[in-house]
Structure 1
């Protein structure tokens, strides 16, 4: 037992600890927000979610379990409780596993490097031994700072830089007392092999490697479908995002989807698509210059009409499973961001962006919402959670127990 009081302590948008009870309640809220399954099936499709513990990957996992009735495997990379608490994703995974068991879903969670062939071997073994040797869906949602190439051992590092010239943008920060400030920040352009390095980490190389690895072991079911989660975003953030090094990686991801789609169509009658999701407050997005300001202003324009990640992923699963048509844009992408990129919405956000200063920002952006969303990423600002009461922080990683069985094994 390791009980302690967990108070929110942060450096900018990064919090040093996570609150286990808050993370659990947030997962409960996300599950409760999912509509009932369209059809009740005794045994749902087998799915693999790579990047299952945070952001859109977490939403994909919960929506898949609660809406599509999936069973299968979630892969993520989280830190266990030690001197500090576990990472928020550690506690979210424990909470997701509990709900899966309670609802009779056979879902195994693996903690490790999704880029490694060792993890691919572990997943392949589980699919063969536990899930009948077939995989119906693969959701790829990985945001990482670096990747080790399993073939060469080379380590690639991703960077957030514009391409061609320096870029100056407004950004939102909070001072030591929590007061908001709108500042300008200049980011130097990509140099050397920055683009190639970023593409190697955040592009489609590892996604394709996963598909090839599983296909070579005859683990893809007939009609197998895979979706990689992506983002385009606003013209206001394009220079640092879609037209920057990350944008080059996203373009590679989309090109990989087209290659995989043709290949899967020929081999298993399957599909590969990218799903373009809309803006949200995530641990990854808050690191991108200008995104915090943009999302706060977007919420200021739309209020509760913003579509939460869990609602977007419910729609994605409905499209992937045939409950709704699998409508694609001209580039072969599922678009879940049309509400964000509506011209009237973008015009309103752009007007506020131009007017945003430290003196006006509280009138233009929903900063209370934004601050709460950042804190909620770590289990804080959650109604009903008392941060002055000691809580158990030593939460174990979910055992590989089958629903309805007392048998369990330690995670591999």
Structure 2
């Protein structure tokens, strides 16, 4: 067994290794934080598929589904195994910990590691639903953030970019120096060129979500009343030039248009529905790559403190709405809105004031830097309370076995 003492090594917000014990404790903490249902689910729960289950909101969807609803089914992610020189990715260790929780809860949840964009993965999932889970799928949660996608139909590979549309965008952003001190800088991002928008939409839009539904429906696997939700984000006017009005925003708009198409189709075929779920801000491996988002999220935490609703609570609310425990809270575009705590007028006004005054010399007073820095480290299993980081830890944790 390969045991090592692991210390965080990073390049900006990207860490080179992950801590298995820290990742496991983080999952356990999320499980504890998820509110228990009024009636504890008994017997076989509904069959669910979570695509993108190992990180961020997808991980929260998996854990909240287990605890609030008692789901069984399949969770799909794409993670790297440990090697002699490197640990596994954090999502690998989080998946192993989630599998332990599902097993302890008596839920049959299969974890698959591979390319969710591929037809081979869709076929593997369909076979499992048919052979292991009674041939009927009740829910599909879609939470995929990826830099590129190969279209199985054409073989073409598309790459997503984070760029504004129409003109360059100049924004403040937050970085940390070698001593961990926050620094506010201005960065400029050039506008989308050529087919940047089309490429990003092809990766992050609704095409793959729709392909999942078509594949499963084509196999006759969608249960009566089947419901599906794709997880999304809108965010603040402070970040809209690079986000909602940029290439990624075009992809989100395509995702929402796909939801409307799927909702109409599922309503006719299985009495089902499709929605996008607009979640509130959180520190995730995807969000830290977007210029300005780190600064915005740190300032938002400075305003809200513990009023910043964590992903596990948001996804518990989504499951309640999907299962009918609570009514669907839809906006005029038919989107589930879980971001009200973030976009309330008084909150956005306070964040905007802090954004305007944010400089390297003032940022420590305006943003919760300690929280943000710790949240980034916790994405990789570091800075998790209760973990002895001076102790050696086994890094060759196996992927969960799904044989019966």
Q: TM-score range by the shorter chain?
A: over 0.9
- Is the CA contact (8 Å cut-off) linking 1:38 and 1:323 kept in structure 2? no
1:218-240 deviation line (CA, Å, top 9, x unaligned): 00000000000000000000000
> 2: distance between equivalents of 1:393 and 1:204?
36
In structure 2, what is the equivalent of residue 165 of structure 1?
Answer: 167
Return the offset for 1:346: 0.1
1:186 counterpart = 2:188: yes
Q: 2:86 aligns with which of 80, 84, 87?
A: 84
In structure 2, what is the equivalent of residue 49 of structure 1?
Answer: 50
Give the SS at the match of 1:295: helix
Return the offset for 1:306: 0.5
Task: Say what the alpha-carbon RMSD is for the aligned residues.
Answer: 0.6
Matches within 5 A, 1:138-153: 138-153=140-155
> 2: distance between equivalents of 1:383 and 1:237?
32
How many residue pairs were aligned?
Answer: 402
In structure 2, what is the equivalent of residue 20 of structure 1?
Answer: 20
- Is the CA contact (8 Å cut-off) linking 1:261 and 1:272 kept in structure 2? yes
Return the offset for 1:178: 1.5
In structure 2, what is the equivalent of residue 255 of structure 1?
Answer: 257
1:49-93 deviation line (CA, Å, top 9, x unaligned): 000000000000000001111000000000000020000000000
- Is the CA contact (8 Å cut-off) linking 1:65 and 1:105 kept in structure 2? yes
Return the offset for 1:327: 2.2
1:290 counterpart = 2:288: no
In structure 1, what is the equivalent of residue 139 of structure 2?
Answer: 137
Return the offset for 1:386: 1.4
Return the offset for 1:43: 1.1
In structure 2, what is the equivalent of residue 275 of structure 1?
Answer: 277
In structure 1, what is the equivalent of residue 379 of structure 2?
Answer: 377
- TM-score, length-scaled by structure 2: 0.99
1:80-121 deviation line (CA, Å, top 9, x unaligned): 000200000000000000010001010000000000000001
> 2: distance between equivalents of 1:59 and 1:384?
21
Matches within 5 A, 1:183-222: 183-222=185-224
Give the SS at the match of 1:124: helix
In structure 2, what is the equivalent of residue 71 of structure 1?
Answer: 72
In structure 2, what is the equivalent of residue 4 of structure 1?
Answer: 4
- Is the CA contact (8 Å cut-off) linking 2:35 and 2:313 kept in structure 1? no
- Is the CA contact (8 Å cut-off) linking 1:97 and 1:107 kept in structure 2? yes
Q: 2:103 aligns with which of 80, 101, 105?
A: 101
1:351 counterpart = 2:353: yes
In structure 1, what is the equivalent of residue 177 of structure 2?
Answer: 175
Return the offset for 1:401: 4.1
| Alignment gaps of 5+ in structure 2 | none
Return the offset for 1:37: 2.5
Q: Which moved more, 1:380-389 or 1:60-69?
A: 380-389
| Alignment gaps of 5+ in structure 1 | 403-412
- Is the CA contact (8 Å cut-off) linking 2:164 and 2:241 kept in structure 1? yes
Give the SS at the match of 2:112: strand
Give the SS at the match of 1:237: coil
- Is the CA contact (8 Å cut-off) linking 1:37 and 1:69 kept in structure 2? no
1:389 counterpart = 2:391: yes
Stretches (4+) displaced over 4 A: none
Q: Which moved more, 1:37-46 or 1:262-271?
A: 37-46
> 2: distance between equivalents of 1:205 and 1:369?
36
> 2: distance between equivalents of 1:369 and 1:11?
19
In structure 1, what is the equivalent of residue 245 of structure 2?
Answer: 243
